């Protein structure tokens, strides 16, 4: 793997306390020449599934060799392992708690190392802030060109999250709400979707189901309770304050409200079923 271009930080630390800044400080003390980008520090506390999605969503837009330092760690201080996962074009450093699941499914099995070498961590190691003491030092040393094999032994049995629901039967595609973004738009597990002549091609984004093709005319999205939404190209195609379904920037089916919050207006929450079907 070529030397990394930068380290991207992803945490649930927020910006009120010093935790995020401390990660920057540790990295700067070991690898002052390495650029650090804050991907986000506003993930819901302990939401490993959201971390997995964010890595999947953002990683294709970073330069080859980027190290993703992910500290969303509800199991800190327990027996969960710290790991460095190495692909040809990116690295994950963080807890082995499933946060790398969608990367593994999309990009294939990485070379995996458990973070056990004491010389590449701070001493003493806190039981509550291992992002500072274990993960940030490991990422910084890798950024300086350290052979990842020096961080610890290879491992095979990575922790993996269950994949989101996605399946199709005939003209119906079944999925679920993944989460709501900052604007209240609800992302679903239905995708990736793209125009293909008079049809809409469905390419399951995590290999949950075979590819399919749906007639474009008459497609609707069915929500819990039976509400049906048209599948439109953009927010503005719906009247202000009205709900709309559309294909979002990640290629997944999303549900939004023109100038409003779909999460609030439609009372949608994570895990609720949604269905895309052709009623033509």
- The verdict on 43 and 132 lying in the same domain is yes
Do 20 and 137 fall within a single domain? yes
Which percentage of the chain shows pLDDT scores above 70? 98
Domain final position from 151, 186, 208: 151
Domain boundary residue, one of 102, 127, 151: 151
Looking at the structure, tell me whether residues 110 and 46 fall in a common domain.
Answer: yes
- Asked, for residue 136, whether it belongs to a domain, the answer is yes
CATH number at residue 45: 3.40.50.10790
Domain membership of residue 236 as a residue range: 167-278
Q: Indicate yes or no: pTM above 0.85.
A: yes
Q: Give how far Cα 279 sits from Cα of 140, 172, 199, Å.
A: 54, 9, 14
1 falls within a domain: no
Specify if 259 maps to a domain: yes
In a domain, 122, yes or no: yes
Q: What is the DSSP string of 169-196?
A: ETTEEEEEEEEE-TTSPEEEEEE-EEEE
Is the same domain home to 147 and 10? yes
Let me know the angle formed at the C-alpha of 48 by 47 and 52, rounded to the nearest 5 degrees: 125
Whether residues 136 and 230 fall in one domain:
no
Distance CA 133, CA 260 (A): 42
Whether residue 179 is contained in a domain is answered as yes
CA distances from 45 to 11, 118, 135, 170, 257 (A): 9, 28, 18, 39, 26
Residue 217, token pair as written in the block: 């005319």
Residue 76 shares a structural domain with residue 206 = no
Residues 191 and 258 occupy one common structural domain: yes
Read off the pLDDT of each residue in 243-248 and give the average, rounded to a whole number.
Answer: 92
Whether the per-residue pLDDT at 208 is higher than 60: the answer is yes
If asked whether residues 142 and 184 sit together in one domain, one would say: no
Tell whether 156 is covered by a domain. Answer: no
Residues 46 and 177 in one domain: no
Angle between helical axes of 136-143 and 19-30 (0-180°, round to 10): 30
Residues 22 and 130 reside in one and the same domain: yes
Residue located via tokens 């009205």: 242
Instruction: Please check whether residue 217 lies inside any domain of the structure.
Output: yes
- The stretch 237-261 carries a mean pLDDT of 91
pLDDT of 262 > 70? The answer is: yes
Number of folded domains in the chain? 2
Give the tens place of pLDDT for each residue, 91-133. Answer: 999 999 999 999 999 999 999 999 999 999 999 999 999 999 9
Are 152 and 23 a contacting pair, CB within 8 Å?
no
Residue that has been written with the tokens 């738009």 in this structure = 185
In a domain, 162, yes or no: no
- 258 and 177 in a common domain: yes
**Average pLDDT of the chain, as a whole number:** 93
Instruction: Provide the Cα torsion 217, 248, 180, 52; round to 10°.
Output: 120
Tell me the pLDDT tens digit for each residue of 5-43.
799 999 999 999 999 999 999 999 999 999 999 999 999
Q: Which domain CATH number covers 182?
A: 2.40.30.90
Same domain membership, residue 83 and residue 45: yes
């Amino acid at each position: 793997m070529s030397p990394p271009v930068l380290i991207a930080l992803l945490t649930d630390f927020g910006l009120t306390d010093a935790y995020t800044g401390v990660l920057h400080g540790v990295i700067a003390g070991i690898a002052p020449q390495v650029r650090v980008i804050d991907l986000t520090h506003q993930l819901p506390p302990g939401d490993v599934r959201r971390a997995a999605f964010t890595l999947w969503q953002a990683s294709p837009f970073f330069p080859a060799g980027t190290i993703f330092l992910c500290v969303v760690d509800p199991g800190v201080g327990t027996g969960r392992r710290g790991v460095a996962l190495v692909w040809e074009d990116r690295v994950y450093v963080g807890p082995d708690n499933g946060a790398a699941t969608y990367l593994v499914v999309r990009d294939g099995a990485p070379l995996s190392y458990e973070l056990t070498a004491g010389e590449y961590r701070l001493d003493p190691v806190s039981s509550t802030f291992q992002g500072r003491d274990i993960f940030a030092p490991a990422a910084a040393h890798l950024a300086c060109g350290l052979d990842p094999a020096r961080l610890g032994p290879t491992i095979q049995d990575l922790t993996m999250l269950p994949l989101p629901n996605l399946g199709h039967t005939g003209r119906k595609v079944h999925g679920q709400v993944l989460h709501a973004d900052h604007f209240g738009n609800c992302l679903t597990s239905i995708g990736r979707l793209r125009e293909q002549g008079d049809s809409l091609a469905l390419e399951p984004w995590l290999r949950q189901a075979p590819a399919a093709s749906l007639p474009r005319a008459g497609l609707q999205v069915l929500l819990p309770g039976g509400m049906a939404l048209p599948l439109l190209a953009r927010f503005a195609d719906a009247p202000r304050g009205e709900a709309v379904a559309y294909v979002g920037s990640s290629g997944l089916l999303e549900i939004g409200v023109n100038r409003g919050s779909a999460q609030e207006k439609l009372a949608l929450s994570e895990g609720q079923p949604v269905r895309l079907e052709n009623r033509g």
